[in-house]
Amino acid sequence: MTALFKALGFSIALILVFASVTYVLPQVRGEAPEEEEVNLGELTMDDFVAMGEKLYRGKGTCTLCHNNLGRAPDLLTYNVVSVSLERMADEGYQGQAGDAETYLRESMVEPSAYVVEGFGKKGTNDTESPMPAVDQPPIQLSAVEMDAIIAFMQQKDGNPVTVALPSGDDAPAVESGEGAATPPALAQNAEEALAKFGCAACHSVLQSESPVGPSLRDVGKRLSVEQIRTSIVDPKAEIAPGFPPIMPEFPNMALAELNLVVQFLAQQDGSEQ
C-alpha cells in the first residue's frame, strides 16, 4: 500500500514537471483544441534533461557521494564541462576523451581514468577512484540514461547540450572501436531488444526501475497484446493516464524485435520473475 502511494506521489511530481514543459504550447495558442497539430509525442531536449536530473538524484545514486559532505566533488557547484578540459590536459589523465561529453561519459564508466586530487581510494595516491562504474550492477545505467545525465550536467551551467536524443537509431552500445560503421545487430531476445532501445530509461522492467513511464512489470495484466503493440509502434495513439506524452517512436525497430518485445511484455503479469 505505502509503495502504491509513493508511486502515486512520484507520478504526480512528474506530471507537474512534464506538464509545465509539454502543455505550455497549446495553452498559449488558446485556439480550438486541435491537440493533434502540436506534436506532443516528441521527446524534447528539455524532457531529456529533466530525465537526466531525475536519474542523477534517483536511480543513478550520484547525490549519495556527490554532495556537500566531502565524499566526492559536488558536481552541482562547479561547471563540470569547462573543468573537463583541464582534466584532459592534466598529466595525470589516463583516459581517451577528446571532448567534454566523452570525458563525462568516461567518468561514469571508467572512473579511474582521472581521479580528482584528494578523492582517490585510500592508499592509492589518487590513482584509483572509489566511484563505481555506473553502467555496471548494482547501478547499471543504460547508454540512454547516461546520455540524459550528461545532458543534465551540460545544461545546468548553460553549456550547449551535445548528446543526441534517444531514438530508434540508437545502436546497441558498441564499445569496441571497430564496430562503429556496421549497422546495429538485431536483438536476439526480448532482454536485448529492451536494452537496445533504452526502454528501461523510462520504464520499470526486468531489473531496472524508472518512474518516467508506467511500470511494464504488470503490463500484460493491464493491456491486451494488441494494445501493447500499438503503444510501441504508435506511442501517440493512446496516452496512459497520468503520464507525460513523451515516449519516442522507434522507426528502426525490426519487426522481429517488436514481436519479441510484445511477446515478452504480454507475459508480464506482476508476479516475480
Counting contacts by CB under 6 A, is residue 62 touching ligand HEC? Answer: yes
Counting contacts by CB under 6 A, is residue 73 touching ligand HEC? Answer: yes
Counting contacts by CB under 6 A, is residue 149 touching ligand HEC? Answer: yes
Counting contacts by CB under 6 A, is residue 231 touching ligand HEC? Answer: yes
Preceding amide of 138 cis, omega within 30: yes
- The alpha-carbon radius of gyration of the chain (Å, integer) is 20
d(CA 37, CA 64): 43
CB atoms within 10 A of CB 84: 22
In the complex, the smallest distance separating the C-beta of residue 171 from ligand HEC, rounded to whole angstroms, is 14
Out of 49, 80, 163, 266, which residue is the one contacting ligand HEC (CB under 6 A)? 80
Q: Which residues pair with 208 in a beta bridge?
A: 205
Counting contacts by CB under 6 A, is residue 250 touching ligand HEC? Answer: yes
Residue type, 241: P
Counting contacts by CB under 6 A, is residue 198 touching ligand HEC? Answer: yes
Counting contacts by CB under 6 A, is residue 165 touching ligand HEC? Answer: no
Counting contacts by CB under 6 A, is residue 52 touching ligand HEC? Answer: no
Counting contacts by CB under 6 A, is residue 246 touching ligand HEC? Answer: yes
Counting contacts by CB under 6 A, is residue 60 touching ligand HEC? Answer: yes
Out of 81, 195, 201, 260, which residue is the one contacting ligand HEC (CB under 6 A)? 201
> Residue 237 corresponds to which cell in the numbers above?
495513439
Out of 143, 228, 260, 266, which residue is the one contacting ligand HEC (CB under 6 A)? 228
Out of 119, 174, 191, 249, which residue is the one contacting ligand HEC (CB under 6 A)? 119
What does the binding site for ligand HEC look like in residue numbers (CB under 6 A)?
A: 43, 60-62, 64-66, 72-73, 75, 80, 83, 87, 104, 107-108, 111, 114-116, 119, 129-132, 134, 149, 166, 197-199, 201-203, 212-214, 219, 222-223, 228, 231-232, 235, 239-240, 243-248, 250, 261, 265
